[in-house]
Structure 1
Amino acid sequence: MTNLTKNNPLQTPHSGYHWDGWSQRFFEGWYFRVTLPDTAQTFAFMYSIEDPIGGQAVSGGAAQILALDDEYLCRTFPDVKKFWAAKDYLGLGHWGKTDLKMAPQLLNPTQFEQHIQQGYQVTATFHQGLIKDSGSNKYCRWQYETKPIYGWGNPEKPQQSTAGWLSYFPIFEPGWQILMAHGLASGWIDWNGKVYEFIDAPAYSEKNWGASFPEKWFWFNCNSFIDEPDLALTAGGGRRKVLWSTEEVALICFHYRGKFYEFVPWNSQVNWQIQPWGKWQMQAVNGEFEVRLIGTTDLPGTVLRAPTNQGLIFCCRDTTKGYVRLELSRRNGEVILTAESLACGLEVGGGPWDDAWIV
């Protein structure tokens, strides 16, 4: 069994839990994705904890799963005292019904399976859980190990903060960090009685923290491209709070054959044209390269919950089965890379989304 805790040389900044015990509004959320390589289907696991001091109107945790064909499963965990998270590495979990009397903590996989009737535990290299919907009898059980391939940044250098060095200060609302741009997951997922086993399936993880999600946002994510196994893309933008004002920012970043391509506000010009649903377009240019992204879907998507000032509410729409095309070229027009996928995560959230968002 892999070391379940700190065995991750690609650990990024902000991997640890941010809550310091304060009583004001606070959430932290995590996203873990596995794409089954043979079918382009995805399981995305989303965890959150809100107002962990307890006793507040929205105190509690939740686990959401966006599964095959964008099916959805959600379980809430009201008891914040059964949540745990590590401060110095990526590690967290939440227990539902259990016969254990100890404080919640990372368990041996066998011990977890024997004693945790609902809940989850996850680190950079291991992920396990079971949640059920008592109303529909739908459930999901899973256990897999992950080998990180790319964190965030050049894999030969210290890993980077997604929002730059200013992310270490309480300036941006919310904080955002890609934890693992690409990894290889091996294990199994039991979705309502059908077990999906996989070896070296593309895996991804990220997190947010603060008082609430951005006012409005969009997002791309894909690390399962056709004929390009060593390509991992994350792009997105939003209207976020910066101290006492707001700003609209976006980035396009990807790892490709050992190199990190970063188009961010402090080194590039980034533009976007995002429809309320169905079509996402981005372009960015810096001193050396240009990149173009287009994402589309004919699917209706699935409405998901996200932390807001009013708590965890339905406020974003996702699909994990979008089409994406990425084109990278030099400033002189020489095309370096063209790649496509039918397994792109696409999302819009917040609002208003009455018209296209063009910047």
Structure 2
Amino acid sequence: MSAHQSEAATAAPVPVQTTRRRRIGRSAKGNAVAYLFLSPWLIGLFCLTLGPILASAYLSLTSYDLFNEPVWIGLENYRTLFFEDARYWAALRVTFEYVFLSVPLKLAFALAIALMLNRGLAGLGLYRSIYYLPSMLGGSVAIAIMWRQIFSYDGVINQILLNFGIDGPSWISSPDYALYTLVSLAVWQFGSPMVIFLAGLKQIPQELYDGAAIDGAGAFQKFINVTLPLLTPIIFFNFVMQIIGSFQAFTPSFIISNGTGGPADATLFYTLYLYEQGFTNFRMGYASAIAWILVGIIATATAASFFSAKYWVHYGDRD
């Protein structure tokens, strides 16, 4: 036996516990570095998201006016909302009417424009940018002010009607028409779902249309039997996103009604009433309860959408 082999044979083996400690130490060091890079996001999560969520849940069970300490009142805010606050139910009705009108019309209009642009028009990028522009500006105060001017008594719409001998009403001052001006504004902001629809249409294989044409299908049959079924995942995505966004709409109602929800509460959106209770009447506990009910409404609508999807949304890998 050589000297080298003898030395190796007599060397003491490294204990298993020591090796395990070294691995744990390296792992802890790696985790510390990872948490260091994650710290900005974690601070935002706990301080800017999770913290306010828990605080609003607590405040919804209190009477709080922003200036004095919250006073615990349990479910009193919710009882008042459901059984004593008529304006709350008016805001709920207006919001549901707005959602049920604006979302289908907006998606239908967006799909129609996407189908038109999908025909291979020259300058497609320019048209797509022009149509998408309203969606980029739609949530701004300037666009809401412009819309208020367009639908005022002496606005553009009535000026056009005068050319046909029609004396139009003051659209935004009439309870019969005010909400529909906001619906038309929502439909005008069709750019975002339109771009998504256009991307989905680009993914449909041309061979399917060619096969349908060989079978004698016309344009309408191709749309019903080829385009719509393959586009249902895109329709579903746009539908859910628009439902969530419509329930949270605020700026158009606030600007066009001057923050009152008028005329006669015809444009009193849910979020506008929440803002009024929290920052005008300083009933922050009451506003927190309104906000949590809105969370429940949106969650229920989203869950119902996902439940219904299995009956009408078709995925290629499942069919």
Q: TM-score range by the shorter chain?
A: under 0.3
Higher-RCO chain (CA-CA 8 Å, sequence separation at least 6): 2
- Which protein is richer in helix relative to its size? 2
Greater gyration radius: 2
User: TM-score if structure 2 supplies the norm length?
Assistant: 0.24
Pick the structure with more strand per residue: 1
- Normalised TM-score (structure 1): 0.22
